Amino acid sequence: MRTGKFGKVAIVMLIILGILFTAGCTDTEEVTEDTGEDTITVGIMGPYTGGAAVYGNAAKDGAMLAFNEANLSNVEVIVEDTKSETKEAATAMNKMVSVDNVQAVVGDLISAATLAAAPIAEQNQVVMISPASTSTDVSDAGDYIFRTIPGDDGQGIFAAQTMSDAGYTKLALLYTNDQYGNGLATIITEEFTSLGGEIVAEETYEAGSSDMRTQLTKIKDANPEVVYIVSNTPDSSVALLRQVTEIGIEADIYGSEGLKVGSILELGDSVEGITITSVSPESEEFKQKYMDEYGEEPPAFAAQAYDAATAIIMAIEDGATNGEEIKDKLYEMEFDGASGHIKFDENGDVEGGYVLVEVQDGAFVTLEE
Amino acid sequence: MSLLAQSIINGLITGSIYALVAAGYSLIYSTNNFMHFAHGISVVAAGYMVYWLFTLAGTPFYVTCIITVILSALFGLAMYRLIYLPLQRKGASNVILLIASIGILTFFQNVIQIAFGSGVKLIGYIEVAKGITFAGITMTLLQIVILVISFIIFIMLYQFMQRTKLGRNMRAVSNNKELASIVGINHIRVSDFSFLIGSGLAGVAGILVALEQNLSPLMGTNLMIKGFTGAVIGGINYVPGSIVGSFLLGLAENLGILVLPSGYKDAIAFSMLFLFLLFKPNGILGKKEGRFDK
Amino acid sequence: MIISAYQTHIFILIFIYIILAVSLNLALGYTGLLNLGHVAFYGIGAYTSALLAIEGMPYLAAMIIAGLFASVFGYLLVTATDRLKGDYLAMATLGFSFVVYSLLLNLREITRGAMGIPGIPKPSILGLTVRTNDQYLIFVLLICAISVFIMYRIVKSPFGKLLEANRDNAVCLRVLGKNTFGLKYKAMMISAFFAGISGSLYAHYITFIDPTSFYISELILILTIVIVGGLASIKGSIVATAVIIYVPEILRTLDLPSSVLGPVRQALYAAILIAILMLRPRGIFGKVDLE
């Protein structure tokens, strides 16, 4: 049974190694504090694996772009994956706070993950700026919790008003059965009915699923004038839009910003004319920079992440050295970012405007007001 | 009326995808008696193989299909020979093999993400267009092809299990491993073939899923759960049963949400799984000789 | 404190998972019930405790009720699956996990569905509130020690021996004149009770829960811990919890390009898992095999 012994020894070693590794990091933290070096560590966290990985990577790229541009000698950036899971978000936040001694974090994207990590950031006086969490609960998550994207209520009201203004009265909703989908759908329903419209169908699907035919059949049967889609997993978005065409839904298609991912454009003619309600578009300047760097159009949330990073950079350039000072500076600052005008209110939320983006000739085109 | 008819068709389309996954899965299960969850990744890997060979490298489509099926079969065999069999030889129980299969699934999911990125990939062999409408029912040509192929597989597997010597050996091993080895059936050889054929079927499933839906690294888990559910409903020990079960599952999901809110789609599927196990644990067509309360 | 906040966090998670893993081992290893529904008990416990505490119930009461409520589901699950064994039991209980997940997601009036429950209060016992993580660590350690001690006594008791005998040869036990009828029920209820307790500990630690916290990835994690640790070995489950939770944390220290860091870590984790299985095909301290 020599392999047996060896196995046990190896496993005990592994645990000791684990304790040492995580403990070893404490020392470095103390060293930085002792020498009083003014290196400020900033974290980026988000889902780089799991269902929301596409958005996570886009946000990471956007934020990295800002940090690389600013190239501050006293700022160090670290990245943590939260696997699209709440527990991982809490772990990542804890790790960054106590091991890397971060003062500010760009992330998380998923509202659930942001809400799980927020109490830890709040307690340790670390600033957290989410580029994508739109749940209304995030507003009340704490003083240190900011976001560069307006909450669901903003987009929901905008979408309902836009569709109502365009003369539609019969709306069908199709949304992911998650925080984002439910949050947005509730607000659209309220607003659209108060504007005199009618919700003729309301269907949901599981995040990541790729078969919505019967939901779409029910929608088709309800005969709406317009369908509003809330999707935040690209595989579902692509499957769904394909099935809209195949089932032959004649109604006009609107969608939330989650639909703004490059892969839907590959569906060709069938996505022509889809209208997306998107938070104010990225500036041309940012678009160009992003394309130069990564060779593709910035996906949803890249510009918001860029702005979140920019806000932190500005605070640091302004002399902030720790989370508390960064927080104070954030409440005071105001600037025109890649995603529009950024000014945080007392909840750490931004106003943000919305625009309509339409798919024209295989590209996302922002419609002029 | 057309709502009901269309939903039945939707159920059949969904069911055929589940059936393609379930067929290979239950073939492997019936001879090996452990849950090979990594079967899901065989399907996904095949899909990405098509994307790589056809969409990126420009290999002719039919050549791509043949290569994909062959490589999938070998991939399955490799999993058996390199991971499962060594574990079995060291006396690992079926639950250990289950954990190992989850490990394999996770590993390749991430390898695929490293190689191809986390984004959605489209094959682009068939233009997306409105399906053919006939008597109020809409479906695309590809969906008809998928339905036909899954029926053909159903019949071929049935014939194979009943008529050929290898098929009979497989059934013998699935019924009683010891007895089978007493009469001189080499169960490792039988397992080899079940992994080859089962994973080859995963290859076929992967090609069709890639064409019908789209590719993302995580799709394997979802496919596996539903394929597995379908297989259990139909009788996990009996391949034709698992195909029937998958169709039934597809129909139940799609007809169920005509009545219930669509959020309950998965709940319907899983309640069915649960209820079938309680009242008909061997599935609709499953054999009595299952390992149920011996 | 001598340990960093990060380590405190990891230790808290480890202690919560130890309760979870040991209680699963009670059903899986000692009783021989291939139960994949454990994560559902965990979720039921977390939701019950969170909702009760938000309604203003004192923490300890909420935690105990969470355990008892999970235990009721344990009873129901055994009643329903009484005739099933082996893989069929595994599949049925897996189905149970899925059904509970779907219900958590869709019973919006009670669970807030996918929106999750934010702002779960930190535990407060006899007027003392557990505020910092260091305090929480001590609290969790205490509960963990008590739970594991109780479960240890159970498996070493005549009742525990009866469970093992029943697992290995039920017919023989009946021939000897032992009453085997209630064994499965009692074991499953105890197991579910502690799963509920650990769910409560988790909910009040993270202070935010949503249905995805109690789904497949979580189920795989706890099952992996028990299997890797070895069936019918409390020691094994404890060691394996530390191993399985530490491995991904060690991998965090690898310096990887940020573009592939997520998937590379997970692939390595999977590879290490398979390697451990290859090295110890019956689990680290495994003694028994399940049919």
**How high is the ipTM of this complex?**
0.84
Specify which residues A356 forms β-bridges with. Answer: A277
Inter-chain CB proximity C5 and A94 less than 8 Å = yes
Query: Å from A321 to nearest chain B CA?
Result: 36
C106, C207, C258 ranked by CB distance to A60: nearest:
C258
> For residue A273, what are its two tokens?
């004319």
- At residue C13, does pLDDT exceed 80? yes
Q: A238 and A163, same structural domain? A: yes
Inter-chain CB proximity C5 and A98 less than 8 Å = yes
Cα separation values, C98 from A18, A211, B137, C79, Å: 33, 18, 32, 18
d(CA C105, CA A338): 36
Q: Which residues contact A239 (CB under 8 A, 6 or more apart)?
A: A209, A210, A211, A212, B213, B214
Residue from A2, A214, A223 to probe the interface with B (highest B Cβ count within 10 Å): A214
Inter-chain CB proximity A48 and C261 less than 8 Å = yes
- Give domain status of residue A339, yes or no: yes
Query: Å from B15 to nearest chain A CA?
Result: 11
- Give domain status of residue C231, yes or no: no
Closest residue in chain A to residue B266, using alpha carbons only: A206
Closest residue in chain B to residue C103, using alpha carbons only: B267
- Give domain status of residue A206, yes or no: yes
Q: A158 and A137, same structural domain? A: no
Inter-chain CB proximity C213 and A11 less than 8 Å = no
Closest residue in chain C to residue A137, using alpha carbons only: C118
Specify which residues A337 forms β-bridges with. Answer: A340
Inter-chain CB proximity B277 and C277 less than 8 Å = no
Report chain B residues whose CB lies below 8 A from the CB of C291. 94, 291
d(CA A237, CA C235): 47
Higher pLDDT, residue C281 or B21: B21
C28, C102, C224 ranked by CB distance to B99: nearest:
C224
Q: A235 and A169, same structural domain? A: yes
- At residue C138, does pLDDT exceed 90? no
- At residue C16, does pLDDT exceed 90? yes
- Give domain status of residue C162, yes or no: yes
Q: For residue B291, what pLDDT is reported? A: 43
d(CA B192, CA B28): 9
Q: For residue B66, what pLDDT is reported? A: 94
Candidate ranges A312-326, C127-141, C252-266; pick with highest mean pLDDT: A312-326
Report chain A residues whose CB lies below 8 A from the CB of B222. 208-210
- At residue B140, does pLDDT exceed 70? yes
**CA end-to-end span of chain B:** 47
Closest residue in chain C to residue B103, using alpha carbons only: C270
The number of C-beta contacts closer than 8 angstroms across A and B is 118
- Give domain status of residue A128, yes or no: yes
Bridging pattern class, strands A354-360 and A275-279? antiparallel
Query: Å from B246 to nearest chain C CA?
Result: 15
- Give domain status of residue C149, yes or no: yes
Inter-chain CB proximity C95 and B33 less than 8 Å = no
Query: Å from C91 to nearest chain B CA?
Result: 8
A81, A99, A112 ranked by CB distance to C262: nearest:
A81
Neighbours of B62 (CB within 10 A): 9
Inter-chain CB proximity A49 and C262 less than 8 Å = yes
Residue from C98, C221, C244 to probe the interface with B (highest B Cβ count within 10 Å): C98
Inter-chain CB proximity B102 and C266 less than 8 Å = no
Q: For residue A33, what pLDDT is reported? A: 41
C91, C102, C277 ranked by CB distance to B99: nearest:
C277
Q: A207 and A194, same structural domain? A: yes
- Give domain status of residue A365, yes or no: no
- Give domain status of residue C109, yes or no: yes
Report chain B residues whose CB lies below 8 A from the CB of C281. 87, 90-92, 96
In this prediction, residue C206 has a pLDDT band, given cuts at 50, 70 and 90, of confident
Residue corresponding to tokens 């193989």: B49
- At residue B85's C-alpha, the angle toward residues B81 and B88, to 5°, is 170
- Give domain status of residue A173, yes or no: yes
- Give domain status of residue C104, yes or no: yes
Q: Which long-range contacts (CB under 8 A, 24 or more apart) does A33-41 make?
A: A33/A101, A38/A74, A38/A321, A39/A74, A39/A75, A39/A76, A40/A74, A40/A75, A40/A76, A40/A103, A40/A104, A40/A316, A40/A321, A40/A322, A41/A75, A41/A76, A41/A77, A41/A78, A41/A96, A41/A100, A41/A101, A41/A102, A41/A103
Query: Å from B208 to nearest chain C CA?
Result: 26
A49, A56, A242 ranked by CB distance to B128: nearest:
A242
Q: A195 and A170, same structural domain? A: yes
B140, B214, B257 ranked by CB distance to A238: nearest:
B214
d(CA C240, CA A15): 9
Report CA Rg, chain B.
Answer: 19
Inter-chain CB proximity B114 and C263 less than 8 Å = yes
Report chain A residues whose CB lies below 8 A from the CB of B120. 54, 234-235, 237-238, 261, 263
> For residue A343, what are its two tokens?
């000014």
Q: Give the domain CATH number at A245.
A: 3.40.50.2300
Closest residue in chain A to residue C211, using alpha carbons only: A178
Inter-chain CB proximity B92 and C281 less than 8 Å = yes
Q: Which domain holds residue C78?
A: 5-214
Could you tell me which chains touch chain B, where touching means 3 or more CB pairs under 8 A? A, C
Report chain B residues whose CB lies below 8 A from the CB of A204. 261-263
| Percentage, residues of chain C above pLDDT 90 | 22
**Averaged pLDDT, C172-196:** 83
SS (H, E, C) chain A: CHHHHHHHHHHHHHHHHHHHHHHHHHHHHHHHHHHCCCCEEEEEEECCCCCCHHHHHHHHHHHHHHHHHHCCCCEEEEEEECCCCHHHHHHHHHHHHHCCCEEEEECCCCHHHHHHHHHHHHHCCCEEEECCCCCHHHHHCCCCEEECCCCHHHHHHHHHHHHHHCCCCEEEEEEECCHHHHHHHHHHHHHHHHCCCEEEEEEEECCCCCCCHHHHHHHHHHCCCEEEEECCCHHHHHHHHHHHHHHCCCCEEEEEHHHCCHHHHHHHHHHCCCEEEEECCCCHHHHHHHHHHHCCCCCCCHHHHHHHHHHHHHHHHCCCCCHHHHHHHHHHCCEEECCEEECECCCCCECCCEEEEEEECCEEEECCC
Q: A310 and A245, same structural domain? A: no
Q: A200 and A141, same structural domain? A: no
Report chain A residues whose CB lies below 8 A from the CB of B213. 210-211, 235, 239, 242
- At residue B7, does pLDDT exceed 50? yes
Q: For residue C1, what pLDDT is reported? A: 45
- At residue B191, does pLDDT exceed 80? yes
Report chain A residues whose CB lies below 8 A from the CB of C106. 177
- Give domain status of residue C257, yes or no: no
In which residue ranges of chain A is pLDDT below 50?
1-3, 24-36
How many domains are there within chain C?
1
Query: Å from A90 to nearest chain C CA?
Result: 7
Cis-peptide into A269, omega within 30 deg: no
Residue from B4, B120, B133, B140 to probe the interface with A (highest A Cβ count within 10 Å): B120
The number of C-beta contacts closer than 8 angstroms across B and C is 143
Q: A71 and A120, same structural domain? A: yes
Q: For residue C251, what pLDDT is reported? A: 81
- Give domain status of residue A366, yes or no: no
How many domains are there within chain A?
2
Residue B293: what are its φ and ψ, rounded to 5°?
45, 60
Inter-chain CB proximity A182 and C113 less than 8 Å = yes
Closest residue in chain A to residue B14, using alpha carbons only: A211
The answer to whether the CB of A185 falls within 8 A of the CB of C114 is no
SS (H, E, C) chain C: CCCCHHHHHHHHHHHHHHHHHHHHHHHHHHCCCCCCCHHHHHHHHHHHHHHHHHCCCCHHHHHHHHHHHHHHHHHHHHHHHCCCCHHHHHHHHHHHHHHHHHHHHHCHHHHCHHHCECCCCCCEECCEECCCHHHHHHHHHHHHHHHHHHHHHHHHCHHHHHHHHHHHCHHHHHHCCCCCCCHHHHHHHHHHHHHHHHHHHHHHHHCCECHHHHCHHHHHHHHHHHHHHCCCCHHHHHHHHHHHHHHHHHHHCCCCCCCCHHHHHHHHHHHHHHHHHHHCCCCCCCCCCCC
Q: In terms of C-beta density within 10 A (0-12 exposed, 13-18 middle, 19 or more buried), how is residue A343 classed?
A: middle
- The candidate with the shortest Cα–Cα distance to C73, out of C216, C197, C193, C220, is C193
Q: For residue C33, what pLDDT is reported? A: 82
d(CA A337, CA C234): 56
> For residue A97, what are its two tokens?
């706070």
- At residue C101, does pLDDT exceed 70? yes
Query: Å from A22 to nearest chain C CA?
Result: 6
- Give domain status of residue A12, yes or no: no
Report chain A residues whose CB lies below 8 A from the CB of C4. 22-23, 25-26, 29, 98-99
Q: For residue B246, what pLDDT is reported? A: 92
d(CA A270, CA A224): 19
- The candidate with the shortest Cα–Cα distance to B107, out of A81, C272, A208, is C272
The answer to whether the CB of B16 falls within 8 A of the CB of B209 is no
- Give domain status of residue A130, yes or no: yes
- Give domain status of residue C168, yes or no: yes
Inter-chain CB proximity B122 and A263 less than 8 Å = yes
Q: Which domain holds residue A200?
A: 153-259
A49, A210, A262 ranked by CB distance to B110: nearest:
A49
Report chain B residues whose CB lies below 8 A from the CB of A205. 262, 265
The answer to whether the CB of C2 falls within 8 A of the CB of C200 is no
- Give domain status of residue C286, yes or no: no
Q: For residue B292, what pLDDT is reported? A: 39
Average pLDDT over chain B reads 86
pLDDT digits over B230-258, tens only?
A: 888 888 888 888 888 999 999 999 999 88
Inter-chain CB proximity B100 and C34 less than 8 Å = no
